[in-house]
Amino acid sequence: MMNMRKLRGRKVRLLTAMALGGGMAFASCSAVDIRHNLVAGTQSFVQDYTADLWAALFPPADEIVNLGD
C-alpha cells in the first residue's frame, strides 16, 4: 500500500495541474463575459420553458379543431 505522504504529494500535484489548466482555459474570458453568458443562457432557458409550458397548456387552434390542409 502506498504511504500517505506519496498519496498526498500526488493529490497536490494533480490539484495544481487542474488549477493551472483551468486558469489557462479561462484566461481569455473575463468576468463580464462569463456574466453575459450566464444571463443569456438563463434567458434562453426561461424563454424555451415558457414556450413549452404555454404550448402544453394552450395548444394551437388547428390541433384542437381539425381545419384540414
pLDDT band at 50 (very low <50, low <70, confident <90, very high): very high
With a CB cutoff of 8 Å and minimum separation 6, the contacts of 61 are: 67
DSSP H helices, the chain, are 4-25, 31-57, 61-64
pLDDT(26) > 70: no
pLDDT(66) > 80: no
**Taking the complete model, does pTM exceed 0.85, yes or no?**
no
